[in-house]
């Protein structure tokens, strides 16, 4: 299952991506936005990020104007490794080396043809594991330690 989310800036591009994923027969869960009306990207990043972090969805795709706000917001959720990609090489490498589980795209930066290709590569590329698994595990450790540090008794 793939979680999808966008704000008004990413609405049209996410529509094209949704169409491509449906044609491939993939199961989708849509977290909105459901129109081009102005809205706040963190609201949609949160829904997608939670669905991925909980394991309900294997991957997430988030689209806003630049992809930057979505990636900042999604990466606040422990367990999420969101990667903003504007080229095919980065999309491949972030799956192979970072085991990224959320792809962020900037609709005002990346054209639809390229964005569709990036999404395809992201979803079809496997994590390499090995030394990269050790590094990804260190990111998970950071989350545990940092969450400990922001507990009220430590503030």
Residues making contact with ligand RB5 (CB under 6 A)? 7, 9, 41, 64-66, 68-69
Tell me whether residue 6 is one of the annotated catalytic residues.
no
Q: Of these residues, 57, 64, 85, 104, which one is catalytic?
A: 64
Q: Is 6 exposed, middle or buried (0-12, 13-18, 19+ CB in 10 A)?
A: buried
Q: How far apart are CA 95 and CA 120, in angstroms?
A: 12
3-state DSSP call for residue 61?
strand
Give me the residue whose beta carbon is nearest to ligand RB5. 69
**Known catalytic residue: 132?**
no
Task: Decide whether 53 or 64 has the Cβ nearer to ligand RB5.
Answer: 64
Distance between terminal CA atoms of the chain?
38
Decide whether 42 or 58 has the Cβ nearer to ligand RB5: 42
- For the bound state, the minimum distance from the C-beta of residue 27 to ligand RB5, rounded and expressed in Å, comes to 26
What lies within 8 Å, CB to CB, of 77 at 6+ separation is 46, 49, 50, 52, 53
How near is the Cβ of 64 to ligand RB5 at its closest, in Å? Answer: 3
Active site amino acids: 64, 97
């Amino acid at each position: 299952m793939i979680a999808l989310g966008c704000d008004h800036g990413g609405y049209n591009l996410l529509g094209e991506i949704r169409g491509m994923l449906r044609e491939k027969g993939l199961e989708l869960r849509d977290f909105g936005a459901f129109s081009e009306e102005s809205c706040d990207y963190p609201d949609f990043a949160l829904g997608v990020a939670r669905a991925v972090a909980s394991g309900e969805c294997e991957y997430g795709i988030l689209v806003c104007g630049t992809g930057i706000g979505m990636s900042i917001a999604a990466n606040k959720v422990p367990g999420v490794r969101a990667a903003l990609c504007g080229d095919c090489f980065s999309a491949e490498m972030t799956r192979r080396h970072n085991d990224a589980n959320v792809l962020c795209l900037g609709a005002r930066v990346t054209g639809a043809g390229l964005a569709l290709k990036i999404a395809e590569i992201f979803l079809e590329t496997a994590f390499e594991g090995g030394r990269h698994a050790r590094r990804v595990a260190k990111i998970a450790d950071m989350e545990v330690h940092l969450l400990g540090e922001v507990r009220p008794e430590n503030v």
